[in-house]
């Protein structure tokens, strides 16, 4: 991002999903008057409350579409062109969805709400 951001632009990092070690040539940042801003979803209390509301079924994490790893480029293209609804996911190390579910009964109870925007165009 430091290399491709326009002069005077801002790079926003959130959660460092590509890893916590970031390396770049500082000249691209300094000489082009760019800046890096850290961002996050929430503080500890807000994150705890969001998880509590999800567990109670008051908030439903939804995905409109899930792509296999081979279609990562298409996922990025769809998000870039804003042809998606809500959130999209890419299966990176999982052969199918749902493998990280720890409470299948709770998930089944809210499955209609979770899939509300699935395959919406």
- Residue 65: count of CB within 10 angstroms of its CB: 21
Tens-binned pLDDT, residue by residue, of the chain (121 aa): 777 888 998 888 776 555 667 778 888 788 888 888 877 778 889 989 998 998 888 888 788 889 999 999 999 998 888 888 778 899 998 899 888 888 899 889 888 888 888 876 5
Structure tokens at 65: 């579409």
- What is residue 18's three-state secondary structure? coil
**Strand partners for 65:** 88
Q: Where are the domains of the chain?
A: 10-39, 56-114
29 phi and psi, to 5 degrees?
-80, -50
The pLDDT score that the predictor gives to residue 17 is: 57
Tell me what pLDDT residue 41 has: 75
Give SS3 for 4.
coil
Distance CA 84, CA 119 (A): 9
């Amino acid at each position: 991002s430091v290399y491709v951001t326009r002069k005077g632009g801002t790079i926003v990092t959130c959660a460092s999903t590509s890893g916590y070690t970031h390396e770049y040539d500082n000249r691209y940042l300094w000489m082009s008057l760019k800046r890096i801003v850290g961002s996050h979803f929430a503080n500890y209390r807000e994150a705890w409350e969001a998880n509590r509301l999800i567990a109670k079924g008051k908030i439903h994490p939804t995905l409109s579409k899930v792509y296999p790893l081979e279609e990562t480029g298409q996922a990025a293209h769809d998000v870039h062109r804003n042809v998606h609804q809500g959130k999209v996911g890419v299966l990176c190390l999982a052969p199918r969805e749902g493998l990280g579910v720890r409470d299948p009964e709770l998930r089944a109870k809210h499955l209609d709400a979770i899939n509300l925007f699935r395959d919406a165009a």
